[in-house]
Structure 1
């Protein structure tokens, strides 16, 4: 049974421009299932320096970092783990007695999700932000060699492509066996009905991978599923990266059944 919240309770948190509930629901459910004296709360901020200072001052154990803070937070930290230094992007901070280390569990989640794919697959990744960098680095480090970074921002797109030895294109075209959307296309709001890739590319692919968490079935993945393609969802990314954060914060590895319970609980209580 989880202890009552008191003076010894450890706090974990998240920082995002648009906080969601998945992380809070997932972590707090796992604290309940594992009986850990932790609590998790999401926040937004307009003062990143002060927020990171608060993590030190209040001995907050861990902090998830979302857009637009994944790169801006780096100068405020004391060290970077390999997962973050490989892509210059942080999505997780661990506080060890005032020493703040940045990690990137998005990278680790992608590595796990593509582990059984054929490394000879040509791929196309759409996007040039922090999540796109995590995906591209994970693919490159996993042994994929034939890839294109699709990004309208040429400077950002070429920077990622050149860093990892892939090609760049301003718009999606041609064929790729593995298509990965690392943009907001397909999310709720203005991008809700936007396909991440043209129908002809979806028809020609083998695997469709979308990092968008909500909705789980984006227009891109719906089109891919209708075409009989294998789909990897943003929900899978969210669960794996949150699990890795949980282990970093608590040094406890929950059972697969507990992880499934927490993920289902979080999605049932958006």
Structure 2
């Protein structure tokens, strides 16, 4: 799909979409706004952070903001503030997308779809043993994708014992408090370790575990090259990045907000633009 449409100038009828994250990045803003321009849609997208989540979600409702992407650490905390949950979010009690229909807020989870798709593309077999680090909202999406692919031979690593055991028990996985001496063919980081900010120099798994793995998957999207992914590349391992998750989940968000599905070509162009390529 190509288009010669002209995006209307921002005005009273322009629809606003946004994101809420502890550490806002630029990918979503650039990706969505680029597609609005390419498709001539009267939308604008802006990233925000907040220390008052209820007030922020109240603003989404009161100001008729069409859509809101939700990132760490708000994916679970936002649930009581919504009116409804789509099956994609309700099944895992984690929200990464809010759609506002005339003041009624519905939570969705497009992370799940992205993660499932990337595991399939990487050729990860259903019998592949894994270690999943994390027990928050993103880890829930990963765990559900693993389980629904038939991957039940794995361990959840989480310092919070209650949350870690609860997530592991939900799908019949094991639980450990730390990765220390654990190894598996598939390593998945679903924590902020390696994310730009306070944890940006942290390695989510020990080097011995990385060397023993076949595939390393880091869902952290910012920076694109995390310490874990750099270590995996050095060790010659197959890598799946958070940047790939970001593209796929953002595309599904775009469709939910606008009702328009861009062509593969346009989506790829927008993703390259968003990365600064």
Any residues of structure 2 matched to 1:4-153 within 5 Å, and which? Answer: 4-115=9-120, 116-153=123-160
Count of residue pairs brought into register by the alignment:
269
Bigger Cα displacement from structure 2, 30-39 vs 183-192: 183-192
Q: 2:224 aligns with which of 216, 222, 225?
A: 216
Q: Mind listing any 5+ residue stretches in structure 2 that lack a counterpart?
A: 1-5
Distance 1:177 1:47, change over 3 A: same
CA contact (8 A) 2:152 2:171 kept: no
User: Stretches of 4+ moved more than 6 A in 1?
Assistant: none
1:236 lines up with 2:244 in the alignment: yes
RMSD: 1.5
1:170 lines up with 2:161 in the alignment: no
CA contact (8 A) 2:186 2:214 kept: yes
Q: Distance in 2 between matches of 1:250 and 1:258?
A: 15
Q: Distance in 2 between matches of 1:45 and 1:199?
A: 35
Q: Distance in 2 between matches of 1:4 and 1:109?
A: 32
Q: 2:8 aligns with which of 3, 15, 39?
A: 3
Deviation string, structure 1 residues 50-76 (Cα, Å, up to 9, x no partner)? 222222222211111122221111111
Bigger Cα displacement from structure 2, 259-268 vs 182-191: 182-191
Deviation string, structure 1 residues 97-119 (Cα, Å, up to 9, x no partner)? 22211001111110111123211
TM-score w.r.t. the length of structure 2 is 0.93
Is the partner of 1:14 in helix, strand or coil?
A: strand
CA contact (8 A) 2:110 2:249 kept: yes
- Report how far residue 197 of structure 1 moved: 1.1
Q: 1:247 aligns with which of 255, 261, 266?
A: 255
1:185 lines up with 2:193 in the alignment: yes
Q: Mind listing any 5+ residue stretches in structure 1 that lack a counterpart?
A: none
Q: Distance in 1 between matches of 2:260 and 2:248?
A: 15
